[in-house]
Every structure is written in C-alpha cells, then in structure tokens.
Amino acid sequence: MNIRTTMDPITLHDVSDPERDPYLYECDGTNGLEIYFESESNRQLYLDMKVAEYKVIAGNDAEDYVAEG
C-alpha cells in the first residue's frame, strides 16, 4: 500500500502543486510513503530532524515478530 500526503509536515500547509514541489518517498519494498513539501528547505528540515527514541505503543518491535489475527 502506498500513502501520499500533500500536507507539508513542517508548515502544515497543503502543497499547491505536488507535481512540481519537492517530496520524499520512503519504501520498504511493499509499502510506500510520499510526503510533499512546500520548499526544499522544509524537506531538508524534515530530513535533519532527529528522534530521541522511538516507542512501541502496541505490539512487538522484534525483527522476527509476526502479528496474530
């Protein structure tokens, strides 16, 4: 499944021309995420953001975890 968002995550404004504005595409081979930005500087700010640590809200983050049900 691919998800496409045209709301710039830095400004929270809707991107007016996704065909021309910068974007980021991340994919794990099966699922993808397209994030569009109002400017290249916003895209770079997003890429430079560091997450202190991630938290697993539900489930298991082990590499060999298989969801049941």
pTM, rounded to two decimals: 0.68
Residues 32, 2: contact at Cβ < 8 Å? Answer: yes
Q: Residue 66's domain spans which residues?
A: 1-69
Contact 35, 9 (CB under 8 A): yes
- Where helices occur in 1-69 by DSSP H, the ranges are 40-48
* Most confident range, picked from 6-10, 25-29, 63-67: 6-10
Number of domains composing the chain: 1
The pLDDT, as a whole number, for residue 59 is: 62
pLDDT digits (tens, 9 = 90+) for 30-61: 889 999 999 999 999 999 987 767 666 666 66
